[in-house]
């Protein structure tokens, strides 16, 4: 396939019949096994072989994978009202989002008019001025978690980052400490990689979730325990003075701009669990991958430490330092390019549509996989290379930059060639919160520590809902 020149579009949306059927592999069992096992190399290879739209047989259903950045923009932005999040058939004409089993009808899973209403209601909670108030929680908890490390310790950084992001979400969402009963329930309550969440990408996920399997039983028991904690905390907030600044208190206090009505308790629960799940594991994985990449690129790591030393001078970072932590921010951006926080975005078209010259039928399963989009060589030269300099807006002096420097921020590129937080009206509402958290954690830990990879350990990405290292990330901690 001949790639178009940079700046051209492959998206052709039309009401006319599509010229050709969507290409793709044959063999329904093979696709099902690949997507439920190790799908990342599989789907990237399909993009390389078949192009911007690929039909992947999955059991008795087919996944239409959209890989072209302009086509992604069409689905998520231009024609977003022609698509719904409900992609799984649950019988008798009903559809559901895969994560409804844990998130209920929160922002990630809700749709249509209700979603737009909820987003308007919750958006003020994530205005920059408000999330800036959480900056001290990011740094203080990062400082606390490293206080027990010793020079030369062998750590599993995925475990450490999971504990840290759990502490952050427990503090900012529920205003509880990591050693509290509530945090212990959050930590152990929901087995995130078994039970119904394990089957989310399969066409018969809803049926598997109903089987009396041990993983399903543990999942539902944990979910019930987590619900009990959330409802108890809600009751405590309502008995207080209503002046809390944690996100749960703000959800309870939120009022509809048109009616003045608060959210019902079950909706507060759904939004709180959505913020918990979306804001905890995704950032843990992002930070873990950032340290994995820095460990294998010591020159980038040294440059980050030099910047941290120059900007902070040994003190803890503040929100006011963020504009000067340019390279640290670039490291985070590039880590999210190579290892996006989520496996994919799913949509169901409400009508037949044409994209890139191919017809995709109504009620099909449309998938957008950031891992694939972020490796499109048209928009990402040397796509497998970890190169934070792609994100530098203020270019260094002539002769000191390579061809990749500033490439990701040049004008004329498709906006959704990069979508770690999704895009369009459904873009992650907490994206600014997450970016601030990530940079401040890297800066806080980078003041005192660097992490060396364990020789001979091969990192294996596990793609389910998020993309995380299958066997963790063992490192040696070295005090700087």
Asked if residue 360 and residue 326 are part of one domain, the reply reads: no
CA–CA distance, 439 with 319 (Å, rounded to integer): 10
Asked if residue 322 and residue 175 are part of one domain, the reply reads: yes
Asked whether residue 278 is domain-assigned, the answer is: yes
Asked whether residue 411 is domain-assigned, the answer is: no
Distance set, CA 135 to CA 124, 171, 269, 436 (Å): 17, 12, 25, 8
Q: What is the pLDDT of residue 202?
A: 60
Q: Whose structure tokens read 């992001």?
A: 165
CATH number of the CATH domain containing 36 = 3.30.43.20
Q: What is the pLDDT of residue 188?
A: 74
Asked whether residue 109 is domain-assigned, the answer is: yes
Q: What is the pLDDT of residue 241?
A: 79
Asked if residue 430 and residue 294 are part of one domain, the reply reads: yes
Asked if residue 286 and residue 167 are part of one domain, the reply reads: yes
| CB distance 62 to 183 below 8 Å | no
Q: What is the pLDDT of residue 398?
A: 63
Number of domains in the chain: 2
* Cα-trace Rg, the chain: 22
The model carries a pTM of 0.91
Low-confidence spans in the chain with pLDDT less than 50: 1-12, 14-16, 18
Asked if residue 21 and residue 159 are part of one domain, the reply reads: no
Q: What is the pLDDT of residue 193?
A: 63
Question: Which domain does 65 fall in, by range?
Answer: 1-98+342-379
Asked if residue 228 and residue 324 are part of one domain, the reply reads: yes
Q: What is the pLDDT of residue 394?
A: 79
Q: What is the pLDDT of residue 199?
A: 64
Asked whether residue 157 is domain-assigned, the answer is: yes
Bridge partners (DSSP) of residue 61 are 58
Asked if residue 450 and residue 321 are part of one domain, the reply reads: yes
Asked if residue 71 and residue 200 are part of one domain, the reply reads: no
CATH number of the CATH domain containing 433 = 1.10.630.10
90 contact partners, CB below 8 Å, separation of at least 6: 96, 206
CA–CA distance, 37 with 355 (Å, rounded to integer): 28
Report the candidate in 283, 273, 271, 338 with the shortest Cα–Cα distance to residue 163.
283
Q: What is the pLDDT of residue 9?
A: 41
Asked if residue 355 and residue 428 are part of one domain, the reply reads: no
CA–CA distance, 181 with 225 (Å, rounded to integer): 11
Asked whether residue 384 is domain-assigned, the answer is: no
Asked if residue 244 and residue 149 are part of one domain, the reply reads: yes
Asked if residue 89 and residue 111 are part of one domain, the reply reads: no
Asked whether residue 442 is domain-assigned, the answer is: yes
Three-state secondary structure readout of 144-194: HHHHHCCCCCEEEHHHHHHHHHHHHHHHHHHCCCCCCHHHHHHHHHCCCCC
| CB distance 238 to 263 below 8 Å | no
Asked whether residue 361 is domain-assigned, the answer is: yes
Asked if residue 264 and residue 280 are part of one domain, the reply reads: yes
| CB distance 142 to 134 below 8 Å | no
């Amino acid at each position: 396939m001949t790639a178009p020149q940079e700046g051209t579009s492959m998206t052709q949306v039309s009401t006319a019949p599509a010229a050709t059927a969507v290409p793709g592999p044959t063999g329904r069992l093979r696709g099902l096994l690949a997507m439920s096992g190790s799908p990342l190399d599989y789907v990237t290879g399909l993009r390389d072989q078949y192009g911007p739209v690929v039909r992947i047989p999955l059991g008795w259903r087919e996944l239409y994978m959209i890989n072209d950045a302009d086509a992604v923009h069409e689905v998520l932005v231009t024609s977003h009202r022609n698509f719904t999040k409900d992609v799984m058939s649950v019988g008798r004409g009903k559809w559901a989002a895969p994560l409804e089993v844990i998130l209920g009808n929160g922002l990630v899973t809700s749709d249509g008019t209700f979603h737009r209403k909820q987003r308007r209601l919750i958006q003020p909670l994530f205005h920059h001025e408000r999330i800036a108030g959480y900056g001290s929680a990011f740094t203080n908890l990062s400082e606390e978690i490293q206080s027990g490390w010793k020079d030369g310790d062998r750590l599993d950084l995925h475990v450490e980052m999971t504990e840290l992001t759990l502490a952050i979400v427990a503090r900012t969402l529920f205003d509880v400490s990591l050693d509290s009963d509530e945090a212990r329930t959050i930590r152990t309550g929901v087995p995130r990689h078994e039970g119904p969440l394990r089957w989310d990408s399969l066409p018969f996920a809803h049926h598997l979730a109903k089987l009396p399997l041990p993983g399903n039983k543990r999942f539902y028991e944990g979910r019930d325990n987590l619900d009990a904690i959330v409802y108890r905390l809600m009751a405590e907030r309502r008995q207080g003075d209503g002046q809390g600044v944690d996100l749960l208190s703000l959800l309870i206090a939120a009022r509809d701009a048109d009616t003045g009505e608060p959210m019902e308790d079950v909706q507060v629960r759904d939004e709180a669990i959505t913020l918990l799940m979306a804001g905890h594991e995704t950032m843990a994985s992002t930070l873990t991958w950032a340290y994995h990449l820095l460990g294998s690129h010591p020159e980038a790591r040294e440059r980050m430490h030099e910047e941290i030393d120059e900007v902070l001078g040994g003190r803890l970072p503040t929100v006011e330092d963020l504009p000067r932590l340019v390279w640290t921010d670039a490291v985070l951006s590039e880590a999210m390019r190579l290892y996006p926080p989520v496996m994919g975005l799913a949509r169901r078209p409400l009508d037949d549509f044409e994209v890139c010259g191919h017809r995709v039928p109504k009620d099909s399963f449309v998938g957008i996989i950031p891992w694939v989009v972020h490796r499109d060589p048209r928009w990402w030269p040397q796509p497998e290379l970890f190169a934070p300099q792609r994100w530098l807006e203020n270019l260094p002096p002539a002769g000191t930059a390579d061809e990749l420097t500033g490439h990701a921020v040049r004008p004329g590129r498709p906006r959704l060639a990069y979508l770690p937080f999704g895009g369009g009206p459904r873009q992650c509402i907490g994206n600014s919160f997450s970016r601030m958290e990530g940079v401040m954690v890297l800066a806080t830990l980078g003041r005192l520590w660097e992490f060396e990879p364990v020789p001979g350990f091969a990192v294996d990405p596990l793609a389910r809902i998020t993309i995380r290292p299958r066997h963790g990330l063992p490192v040696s901690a070295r005090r700087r």
